[in-house]
Structure 1
């Protein structure tokens, strides 16, 4: 493997995907109070129709819509009131032509009715007679049985990351437990003689561990579990020991820093020391983030990400996130929006450039402004909403261009 024989993003993703084929996680059953953010390992199929009966969406009078045709404030339709349906109870009477029943919002409409006249468009003359002042069409102000969910329908597909809204769907079906993939276990190793944890004494020349916390948070956002998070000095044996301990209980190991070709950049050699295929990517044709490593240490995948925070999280999104989604079989829509660029700026010819941007709205239009700074600056992340991709053949971006912004 030649150092920095840079591959394209697409080739890198393809190489990773091919090595993860067949990698499957076990399933476990969890209660719906604990399943938010978890990834379904099987389809959830509806047990019943939702709603389970025809119901009104307004307070009003259930009618055969034909009885309201032509009704107006000057020539109302007169109907006979046969019942007032109580909330949570089924109607005791069906209605015929010329009849109506009062139904509250969410209440069950009686047989014979196909629509509901809003209460403000009707007047109760006495205990038996109702005047209707506005016509309704068939199905108006009514939700029919099964309109929302049909019995036997796949309501939540395998691979979906469950949200609070999805939990509402489960609750409507009376489903108390679901099968999800066990959490993907990931270890994060921050390397460098200069790196100290946030609660350690801080000295001049030292750097607090930023990447360990940012990457750990990102893993958890994606439904993974941080098995261990450690800091290790730039020594081959120390790093090898930490990688070995990490891989013993993790599915993936991430090494932050030490992925370049300096005298103390040991990631490449450590991965190769475990046998198996070893490093199969060392260098990606992107800016920032060229010194990225991916390899197989035995039968486990190890990612060596750049030490600079902005580069690290970008390459995490490009490679590690994709790997996690593949293993989980995640069905996930990309969070993105097309924005108008508000200024000109150049890119690095021959490399795919990832430019951080902030997004704002102006005159009802989404616009994006580049966020500049050196890759070691953590504020590049805090000031940015996402990034745009500039292809290798492009010289840069022009003011007024519409670009897809991928949100973090």
Structure 2
């Protein structure tokens, strides 16, 4: 029986970087379709935001010199000149320092004024007289022209993933469309005589298809277009026909199951059957996920992923997603949650391990505890908040040790 010739995670990522070059191009989409997409070129503002001076509070627009030294015992006495209506230019202005004008939050600051006093620090003596009980510095409670965004400023960088907040910024700048990188198509194939569709009732020795839906959802999350090719039996010709169709249609092909070295594992044989096929990896020094294949057919990446759901998911997150980020030009970073590890945990040296954990809120902070679940089981894994990466040269983690937890999205 052939044995794995394992590579480190770093070596596999180097192969991904050097061996695959995709040019997917860009497309223009409406803001309604842009959520989660990757910006194809840096977006530059064509206007100032705001394009007028506006108040941040309900209050009175004043000249700051007129209220210098104002207090409750010695208020400044100003004449009310009028008010500013929301969404309209002021129809009045300050002709002298002894005047003030009422402005609502977001209202335009009238000429002659340089600051706003909150209404809480004022008193209306009569219809025309306002007492100011607090001084106001030049520019206080005022947003200046271009203070949020200046014309010519880069507001969203190339490679950024568009969230609701970025889309809000774009709408404020008058962009109704945005140029984004096209979505890579990723084919998903599940293999195994023991795998049946979700609608079927499994017989003894069979299980419903899990990996297709984990991978499909993960691909959607990562801004790509998944294509489901269904369940394929451990049959060389059937898998070859399905993989041929997937390679023609997709940019990346993921085959879950059949990646080990058993007599019925067909994935490696099928990849090798293609005329220009290259096999870069058969085995990664990672736990879980050792029996992983990385090949290249027609310039496209073909992955043979482990059949166990946990192993399949971890390899997707650590290896496949690295290639996806390269293809879609994503510069998105994932920042971990810092926790205290809750137990003593032993692992073998020589392999990176990705340990699913839950997070508990304790009096002293956040506590991370491993989910002890065999890799073929899914319910425990689904309860995990995220995972901890344990370096290959370590023998485990100690209770009380500080760890970084990366979230499963």
Q: TM-score, normalised by structure 1?
A: 0.96
Q: Which residue of 1 aligns with 2:25?
A: 26
Q: Is the 8 A contact 1:24 1:328 kept in 2?
A: no
Q: Does 1:248 find its partner at 2:248?
A: yes
Q: Is the 8 A contact 2:185 2:251 kept in 1?
A: yes
Q: Which residue of 2 aligns with 1:211?
A: 211
Q: Which residue of 1 aligns with 2:46?
A: 47
Q: Which residue of 1 aligns with 2:398?
A: 398
Matched ranges for 1:53-92 at <5 A:
53-92=52-91
Q: Which residue of 1 aligns with 2:323?
A: 323
1:125 counterpart SS class? strand
Q: Aligned equivalents of 2:65 and 2:327: distance in 1?
A: 57
Q: Aligned equivalents of 2:89 and 2:81: distance in 1?
A: 14
Q: Aligned equivalents of 2:244 and 2:108: distance in 1?
A: 63
Q: Is the 8 A contact 1:278 1:298 kept in 2?
A: no
2:155 counterpart SS class? strand
RMSD of aligned alpha carbons: 1.4
61-70 vs 385-394, which deviates more?
Answer: 61-70
Q: Aligned equivalents of 2:393 and 2:184: distance in 1?
A: 37
Q: Aligned equivalents of 2:220 and 2:229: distance in 1?
A: 13
1:393 deviation in Å?
1.5
Q: Aligned equivalents of 1:71 and 1:394: distance in 2?
A: 66
Q: Aligned equivalents of 1:242 and 1:175: distance in 2?
A: 42
Per-residue displacement from partner, 1:194-229 (whole Å, max 9, x unpaired)?
Answer: 100101232111110000011000000011111233
Per-residue displacement from partner, 1:49-70 (whole Å, max 9, x unpaired)?
Answer: 1111111111100112232222
Matched ranges for 1:39-188 at <5 A:
39-95=38-94, 96-188=96-188
Q: Aligned equivalents of 2:76 and 2:120: distance in 1?
A: 14
Q: Which residue of 2 aligns with 1:304?
A: 304
1:3 deviation in Å?
4.5
1:276 deviation in Å?
2.4
1:116 counterpart SS class? strand
1:140 deviation in Å?
2.1
Q: Aligned equivalents of 2:28 and 2:392: distance in 1?
A: 46
Q: TM-score, normalised by structure 2?
A: 0.96
Number of aligned residue pairs: give it.
Answer: 406
2:323 counterpart SS class? helix
2:290 counterpart SS class? coil
1:17 deviation in Å?
1.3
Cα distance change, pair 14–333 in 1 and its aligned pair in 2 (3 A): same
1:20 deviation in Å?
2.0
Structure 1: give runs of 5+ residues left out of the alignment.
Answer: none
Q: Aligned equivalents of 2:82 and 2:339: distance in 1?
A: 56
Q: Which residue of 2 aligns with 1:225?
A: 225
Q: Aligned equivalents of 2:361 and 2:271: distance in 1?
A: 46
Q: Is the 8 A contact 2:83 2:102 kept in 1?
A: yes
Q: Is the 8 A contact 1:310 1:380 kept in 2?
A: no
Q: Which residue of 2 aligns with 1:388?
A: 388
Q: Aligned equivalents of 2:393 and 2:208: distance in 1?
A: 38
Q: Is the 8 A contact 1:50 1:149 kept in 2?
A: yes
Q: Which residue of 1 aligns with 2:37?
A: 38
Cα distance change, pair 211–174 in 1 and its aligned pair in 2 (3 A): same
Q: Which residue of 2 aligns with 1:191?
A: 191
Q: Which residue of 2 aligns with 1:339?
A: 339
